Amino acid sequence: MTVQDPVDLLGLHFPNRVGLAAGFDKNARAAWGLFALGFGFIELGTITAQEQPGNQPPRIWRFPEDGALINAMGFNNDGADEVARRLRSDGRPPIPIGISIGKSKATPENDMNAVVKDYLDSLRALYPYGDYIAINVSSPNTSGLRKLQGREQLSLLVRSIRNELTFLASTKGGSRKPLLVKIAPDITPQAIDDILQVSSDEGIDGIIATNTTTGREGLHVPTNVEGGLSGRPLKEKALQVASYVRRKAPNLPLIGVGGIESVDDARRMVEIGGADLVQIYTGFIYEGLFFPRRIARGLRLAPARARG
Ligand SMILES: Cc1cc2nc3c(=O)[nH]c(=O)nc-3n(C[C@H](O)[C@H](O)[C@H](O)COP(=O)(O)O)c2cc1C
């Protein structure tokens, strides 16, 4: 059913290199259907410990002329316990499933103990259903979230989650599940260096680059709406961040995401960005249901990145 272009990474077997980016299936309602469309992996969420409605609509705007979206969803989701219940009853398709977790809005952003506990609550509820865990510290739509990319906060968060992953593996069996961090495109090279330092000090298993941008370059229709911009205007920025990460961390598993709207874009993300895997969201919205298979098939003909 899937396009075969297998990659073994993070201790997981990916049937192909094209994944669905976080934010599309926030509540794990569509994993089987998405699998049928040919995705090689799916990142569910972002899920928070507490159920929350997200921001008031309107919270998503289309800019078809620019192949772009702006969203200010604000982590609308059913909460970790309910999503876990759904995954338990529906089962899960036979491709790697990532679980993206984020901070509940009600948790005060300046209380790091509460923030860590919030992520750990989600992790404990959802642990059995994910093959990797992605921590989202890069959405622009939750106040204070991106501050968690700072060296001190990220160290604490990663250390706590990693310890919990080790503990969960020892009690529930199996090997420790990989922990990835999703980063914003709007950070300086110095900030990326800090994240990579945390990665080697605390053991981040991979980077997902990037989330949406707060910049508006490349958007030709003037707009005042606030939120994260995705799609074509993000393309070069995401590629730059990915290739910077790759240059600085040649062996770190890397998922490239941002502005992929053609086979050529996906190949550039692999060949120039150095990504091992790619994810798509906005391109999928505009290009439609055959898009994941088309990209997976196109990438199959591209050489996989030589590692090490
Ligand atoms: C409507 C919408 C909701 C999103 N929600 C999330 C989310 O909950 N968690 C997350 O990590 N990224 C979220 N994203 C970001 C995407 O996963 C992706 O990183 C970004 O859109 C760039 O990829 P693209 O240009 O292919 O869309 C969202 C994007 C969109 C358009």
How high is the mean pLDDT of the chain?
A: 96
- CA gyration radius, the chain: 18
| Atom 28 (ligand 1) nearest CA | 23
What is the position in ligand 1's atom list of the atom closest to the CA of 212? 20
Q: What is the pLDDT of residues 94-134, one digit of tens each?
A: 999 999 999 999 999 999 999 999 999 999 999 999 999 99
Say yes or no: CB of residue 60 within 6 Å of ligand 1. yes
The average pLDDT across 276-298 equals: 98
Q: What is the pLDDT of residue 307?
A: 57
Q: What's the gap in Å between 281 CA and the centre of ligand 1?
A: 6
Helix (H, G, I), strand (E, B) or coil at 237: helix
Question: In the predicted model, is pLDDT for residue 55 greater than 90?
Answer: yes
User: CA angle, 291 as apex, 285 and 297 as ends, to 5°?
Assistant: 155
**d(C-alpha 206, C-alpha 224), whole Å:** 34
The average pLDDT across 248-261 equals: 98
Known catalytic residue at 100 = no
Q: Any idea which residue has 């992953």 for tokens? A: 165
| Predicted TM-score of the model (pTM) | 0.97
| Atom 1 (ligand 1) nearest CA | 71
Q: What is the pLDDT of residue 225?
A: 95
Q: What is the pLDDT of residue 308?
A: 46
Helix (H, G, I), strand (E, B) or coil at 156: helix
Neighbouring residues of 153: CB distance < 8 A, sequence distance ≥ 6 = 112, 115, 147
Question: In the predicted model, is pLDDT for residue 39 greater than 80?
Answer: yes
Structure tokens at 91: 């089962």
Structure tokens at 266: 């996906």
Can you state the angle between helices 235-248 and 263-271, rounded to 10 degrees?
20
Q: Any idea which residue has 């669905």 for tokens? A: 20
Say yes or no: CB of residue 21 within 6 Å of ligand 1. yes
Torsion of CA 116, 243, 240, 196, to 10 degrees: 30
Q: What is the pLDDT of residue 302?
A: 74
Question: In the predicted model, is pLDDT for residue 1 greater than 80?
Answer: no
The average pLDDT across 5-26 equals: 97
Question: In the predicted model, is pLDDT for residue 306 greater than 90?
Answer: no
Q: For residue 192, name the pLDDT band (cuts at 50, 70, 90).
A: very high
- Whether residue 141 contacts residue 107, with contact meaning beta carbons closer than 8 Å, is answered with no
What is the end-to-end Cα distance of the chain in Å, rounded?
31
Neighbouring residues of 23: CB distance < 8 A, sequence distance ≥ 6 = 45, 46, 71, 73, 100, 281
Q: What is the pLDDT of residue 305?
A: 67
Note the Cα 289 to chain centre separation in Å: 20
Q: What is the pLDDT of residue 303?
A: 73
The average pLDDT across 227-252 equals: 98
Structure tokens at 180: 């990835």
Q: For residue 85, name the pLDDT band (cuts at 50, 70, 90).
A: very high
- Percentage of the chain surpassing pLDDT 90? 92
Note the Cα 153 to chain centre separation in Å: 19
171 conformational bin, left if phi > 0, alpha if psi -120 to 50, beta if neither? alpha
Can you state the angle between helices 189-198 and 151-172, rounded to 10 degrees?
30
Question: In the predicted model, is pLDDT for residue 169 greater than 60?
Answer: yes
Q: What's the gap in Å between 172 CA and the centre of ligand 1?
A: 31
Q: What's the gap in Å between 23 CA and the centre of ligand 1?
A: 5
DSSP states along 87-114: HHHH---SS-EEEEE---TTS-TT-HHH
Number of other CB atoms surrounding residue 137 within 10 Å? 26
Give all strands (DSSP E) within the chain, no chain letters: 7-9, 12-14, 18-20, 41-47, 60-63, 68-71, 97-101, 132-136, 179-183, 206-209, 228-231, 254-257, 277-280
Say yes or no: CB of residue 142 within 6 Å of ligand 1. no
Say yes or no: CB of residue 234 within 6 Å of ligand 1. yes
Domain boundaries, the chain: 7-300
The average pLDDT across 29-34 equals: 98
CATH of domain 7-300: 3.20.20.70
| Identified catalytic residue from 139, 160, 230, 243 | 139
Q: Is the dihedral of CA 115, 29, 295, 235 positive or negative?
A: negative
Total residues belonging to the chain: 308
| Atom 15 (ligand 1) nearest CA | 211
